[in-house]
Amino acid sequence: MSSTVTSATPSYITLILTGDERLIDMFEIACWLGPDDVNIDTITLETV
C-alpha cells in the first residue's frame, strides 16, 4: 500500500491510498475506530 497526501493542515488531512483492497479496507476500519478526538468526515473508495 502507498499513500499520497493531497492536503494537510494542523487539524485536517486528505490522502489517497493505493494498493491491495483488503489493506485499504483495514485502514478504513482503523480510521473509524481511531482516537475519540479524531473526526472522520468522508471516506471515498474507487476501484481502478
Question: For each of the chain's 48 residues, which pLDDT tens digit applies?
Answer: 888 999 999 888 888 888 888 988 898 888 888 888 777 787 777 777
pLDDT at 7: 92
User: What are 2's three cell numbers?
Assistant: 502507498
Amino acid identity of residue 32, one-letter, is W
Which pLDDT value is given to residue 24?
85
Position 6 scores a pLDDT of 92
What DSSP line would sit under the chain, residue for residue? -EEEEEEEETTEEEEEEES-HHHHHHHHHHHHTS-TT-----------
Q: What is the pLDDT of residue 36?
A: 80
Instruction: Identify the pLDDT of residue 45.
Output: 76
**What pLDDT score does 5 carry?**
92
